[in-house]
Amino acid sequence: MAASADNSAATAAAAGPAGSTLPAELKAQFDEQIKLTAIRIPKQNTSQYMKLLSKHLFNKPRLRNVMEDPSDPDLRLLLLEETLVEADLDSRQIEGAASAKTVAELVQADGLQVTTAHVDVDYSYWPAHVVLRRLLPEGLEVPSSFESVGHIAHLNLRTELLPYKHLIGKVILDKNPRLKSVVNKLASIENEFRVFPMELVAGQEGTETELRQHGARFRLDFRKVYWNSRLEGEHQRLVQLFRPGEAVLDAMAGIGPFAIPAARKGCLVYANDLNPASFEYLCTNIRINRLAGKVLPFNADGRDFMRQAAAGRLDVAGAAAVVPASAEGGKGRRGKQQQQPGQQQQRSQQQPAAAAAAAAPAQSPGAEQGAADAGPQQGPASGSCSGVFHHIVMNLPAAAVEFLDALRGSFCPELWQGQPLPLVHVYTFCKGEQELAGVRQRVEASLGGTLDVEPRQHVVRDVAPGKIMLCITFRLPPSIAFAEANKRQKLEQ
């Protein structure tokens, strides 16, 4: 039964900002007795019937699914799952019984009896949505989901739920023991670093956390960097397109959700992010995943980074020096040998030989299925500069398409001679069918030229009603990549 409007304010006050769990007086409201369908069985055959009916039993943590029969000490009551009533037993299949295929047939064949039983339950039994439905005022929509980031639960509460934010946070912590903190988003992302203001509504202070995706470790401070756990499937999908030995240019890399898995797969990754905090955690994640020399970190403007890479002028010696191999596997929270963003250029000449080796990836077996063959990978343009690359990843959906102008005329003809130009994977948002139909025109307008073939469009996820996130993939045309060189050649003629 939902909390009345009269006591909802008292309920919210009782939940208070202090502590990480609901107070005892609120939990006591959930002490109840529930009625379950049960099967009366001989005591000596309890194990046999529990095995046969295991899929249909009342299987809940800390609660038993067999109890004594109060009418006969030689019998036991086998409790069935909450949703089952006697009429449903004809449709419930069982395996391993010689004389029956359904629960109802087993009951009849063995001369058993269907009855009911009453079980005492408390607050720990009820799932979060049931608890909140009872405690929140009638008519309010119960939060149905949240994002988990390591030990942090991330909420985006509607305005009408804000008076009950501490209550909601504490219920989430109670029902998810591995979580330690609950934060609520206060405003949308409106800055170049893709971070948003948040407040702690329950649990421990501190937003630095660690999580795993596809076998890789990621450390981050959720308050300082961008992270979206809902993109885990997209990270995996895109990395699957990369081949071992290919080089990947990750222009808006964040803390490395594409870069780290790609390097673990055998790619060389040039990873860049403008946010100093993201750069710091990118370096940390390179170190704790033992990928020094396989992910080369940069802290630069995305346009400048792509232009320098296209021209073969990335300072890979300086990038390799930021996370030297000797720093891998350190136990410190940041790693004492890791440098701050402003120190990257100071050590750019310290390890030229190591950097040159790191920047020369193996021969590529080709681009992903359906794309043109990628051909062999060329090594660095010089002992301390970058070489060619097979993929460009631009994961900044709000603005990445606008950054495509950095690719026009930026490619060095001598460096790229005889080499396939990279596949570009650019993320964007679209609202409505009209914007979706105009994606190619937006891409071409930013590139300042026409694509040779229709770009591939992959719908990543629904962001909001009528708004989707897309990944647009296309091969960069020579007419765009070498636009300035072509212009100069025409003028000379």
Task: Specify whether 167 is located in the same domain as 309.
Answer: no
Cα of first residue to Cα of last residue in the chain, in angstroms, is 84
How many structural domains is the chain composed of?
3
Domain boundary among 91, 121, 151: 121
**Residue 349: predicted pLDDT:** 37
**Residue 101: predicted pLDDT:** 87
Task: Specify whether 297 is located in the same domain as 244.
Answer: yes
Task: Specify whether 110 is located in the same domain as 54.
Answer: yes
Task: Specify whether 376 is located in the same domain as 253.
Answer: yes
Task: Specify whether 103 is located in the same domain as 152.
Answer: no
Distance CA 135, CA 3 (A): 5
User: Does the residue 129 lie in any domain?
Assistant: no
User: Does the residue 136 lie in any domain?
Assistant: no
Distance CA 50, CA 68 (A): 14
**Residue 434: predicted pLDDT:** 75
List the beta bridge partners of residue 392.
Answer: 249, 424
Distance CA 388, CA 311 (A): 9
Task: Specify whether 201 is located in the same domain as 243.
Answer: no
Query: Measuring CA to CA, which residue among 114, 120, 162 is closest to residue 137?
Result: 162
User: Does the residue 36 lie in any domain?
Assistant: yes
**Residue 188: predicted pLDDT:** 66
Task: Specify whether 419 is located in the same domain as 341.
Answer: yes
What residue type is assigned to position 410 of the chain? S
What residue type is assigned to position 228 of the chain? N
User: Does the residue 82 lie in any domain?
Assistant: yes
What stretches in the chain show pLDDT beneath 70? Answer: 1-10, 12-16, 18-19, 187-193, 327-384, 485-493
CATH number for 241: 3.40.50.150
Task: Specify whether 61 is located in the same domain as 107.
Answer: yes
Query: Measuring CA to CA, which residue among 124, 186, 169 is closest to residue 12?
Result: 169
Other CB atoms within 10 Å distance of the CB of residue 90: 10
**Residue 54: predicted pLDDT:** 93
Task: Specify whether 322 is located in the same domain as 408.
Answer: yes
Domain boundary among 121, 154, 169: 121
CATH number for 74: 3.30.70
User: Does the residue 263 lie in any domain?
Assistant: yes
Annotated binding site: 235, 273-274, 301-302, 395
Distance CA 26, CA 287 (A): 46
Task: Specify whether 200 is located in the same domain as 235.
Answer: no
pLDDT tens digits for range 302-321: 999 999 999 999 999 999 99
Annotated binding site for S-adenosyl-L-methionine: 235, 273-274, 301-302, 395
CATH number for 146: 3.30.300.110
**Residue 489: predicted pLDDT:** 52
**Residue 8: predicted pLDDT:** 63
**Residue 390: predicted pLDDT:** 97
Task: Specify whether 45 is located in the same domain as 184.
Answer: no
Domain coverage including residue 93: 32-121
